[in-house]
């Protein structure tokens, strides 16, 4: 992949942000918000952003399949495209619950996968314009500058652990056996914010139970290319075409190993 590709993806993401998302921030009507499931919202901005992104990305790589979060919700058979030779994966508005309640963070996530493996990832913060991107084997970049992941330097390490999608027994186990070893902080409820926090040393470790491709493909690649580590609980790589739960992200491999060892005991 080339910088030209990342520039093109950036332009499509910025266009979706400017046309579909930013004008509706803190200006949504009640009819603009729909509850897909308990504590899972979608807004008119999500749908319009996905349409803009799908159209723009199709122009960049017409040969690539497209899997968008809202399209897949409407037609789950679309998920079979995740193992395609080439596939765009779109989260048109990550952090929808935050956005719907008129607060940050929220952003856009786009990934490009090949045969189930992520080869490109792009993360766009709508309010600040912060742009993170990564290319497989070619490093991670924050606003155009090469990024090397760093830890917070705090002791105990800083942990943001998502238990939203864990069953009650697992929530208790996580809080009893993992939380005491870390300084716990609130999760942003936005992968487009959480992965940059890990790579820039704001947070040291995170645990994710639900690992949908549009939420994690871009961020996992970004963190790994920056020199941190994101992988399944058993250490196997994250693949977009696998329906599995559980993922650890850490700002360094050593912190990942430490948390994984603790997770193995619950």
Show pLDDT as tens, one digit a residue, over the chain (266 residues). 458 999 999 999 999 999 999 999 999 999 999 988 777 899 999 999 999 999 999 999 999 999 999 999 999 999 999 999 999 999 999 999 999 999 999 999 999 999 999 999 999 999 999 999 999 999 999 999 999 999 999 999 999 987 777 778 878 888 888 989 999 998 999 999 999 999 999 999 999 999 999 999 999 999 999 999 999 999 999 999 999 999 999 999 999 999 999 998 77
Q: What is the pLDDT of residue 1?
A: 45
- Number of domains present in the structure of the chain: 2
Assess if residue 57 is contained within a domain. Answer: yes
* Domain match, 236 and 163 both: yes
* Domain match, 60 and 109 both: yes
What is the CA angle 168-170-172, rounded to 5? Answer: 70
End residue of a domain, out of 78, 112, 147: 147
* Domain match, 196 and 106 both: no
Q: What is the C-alpha separation between 262 and 158, in angstroms, rounded?
A: 15
* Domain match, 140 and 193 both: no
Q: What is the pLDDT of residue 148?
A: 98
* Domain match, 167 and 231 both: yes
Q: Give the domain range for residue 195.
A: 158-263
Q: What is the pLDDT of residue 19?
A: 98
* Domain match, 109 and 197 both: no
Q: What is the C-alpha separation between 102 and 106, in angstroms, rounded?
A: 10
Q: What is the pLDDT of residue 2?
A: 55
* Domain match, 140 and 245 both: no
- In Å, how far from its chain's centre is CA 79? 17
Q: What is the C-alpha separation between 77 and 67, in angstroms, rounded?
A: 10
Assess if residue 34 is contained within a domain. Answer: yes
The region that residue 128 occupies, defined by phi over 0 for left and psi between -120 and 50 for alpha, beta otherwise, is: alpha
- Numbered residues of the known binding site for Mg(2+): 69, 91, 93-94, 215
* Domain match, 92 and 37 both: yes
212-222 b/e with 16+ CB inside 10 Å = b? bbbbbbbbbbb
Contacts of 101 (CB under 8 A, 6+ apart): none
The number of beta carbons lying within 10 Å of the beta carbon of residue 156 is 11
Which CATH number characterizes residue 235's domain? 3.40.190.80
* Whole-number Cα distances in Å, 159 to 155, 204, 249: 11, 6, 10
- Numbered residues of the known binding site: 69, 91, 93-94, 215
Assess if residue 152 is contained within a domain. Answer: no
End residue of a domain, out of 147, 166, 188: 147
Assess if residue 82 is contained within a domain. Answer: yes
Contacts of 126 (CB under 8 A, 6+ apart): 17, 21, 22, 25, 106, 107, 108
* Domain match, 219 and 124 both: no
* Domain match, 42 and 126 both: yes
Which CATH number characterizes residue 19's domain? 3.30.540.10
End residue of a domain, out of 101, 116, 147: 147
Assess if residue 153 is contained within a domain. Answer: no
* Domain match, 14 and 125 both: yes
């Amino acid at each position: 992949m080339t910088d030209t590709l990342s520039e093109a993806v950036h332009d499509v993401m910025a266009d979706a942000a400017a046309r579909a998302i930013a004008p509706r921030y803190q200006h949504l009507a009640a009819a603009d918000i729909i509850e897909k499931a308990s504590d899972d919202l979608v807004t008119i901005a999500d749908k319009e952003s996905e349409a803009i992104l799908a159209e723009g990305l199709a122009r960049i790589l017409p040969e690539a399949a497209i899997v968008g979060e809202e399209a897949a919700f409407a037609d789950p058979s679309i998920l079979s495209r995740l193992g395609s030779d080439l596939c765009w994966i779109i989260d048109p508005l990550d952090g929808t619950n935050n956005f719907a309640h008129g607060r940050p963070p929220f952003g856009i996530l786009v990934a490009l996968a090949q045969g189930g493996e992520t080869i490109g990832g792009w993360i766009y913060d709508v309010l600040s314009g912060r742009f993170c991107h990564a290319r497989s084997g070619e490093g991670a970049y924050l606003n155009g500058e090469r990024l090397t992941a760093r830890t917070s330097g705090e002791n105990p390490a800083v942990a943001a652990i998502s238990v939203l999608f864990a069953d009650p027994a697992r929530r208790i186990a996580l809080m009893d056996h993992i939380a005491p070893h870390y300084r716990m902080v609130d999760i942003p409820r936005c992968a487009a914010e959480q992965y940059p926090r890990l790579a820039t040393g704001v947070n040291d470790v995170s645990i994710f139970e639900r690992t949908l491709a549009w939420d994690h493909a871009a961020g996992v690649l970004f963190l790994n290319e920056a020199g941190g580590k994101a992988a399944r609980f058993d250490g196997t790589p994250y693949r977009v075409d696998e329906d599995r739960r559980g993922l650890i992200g850490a700002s360094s491999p050593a912190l990942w190993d430490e948390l994984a060892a603790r997770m193995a005991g619950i």
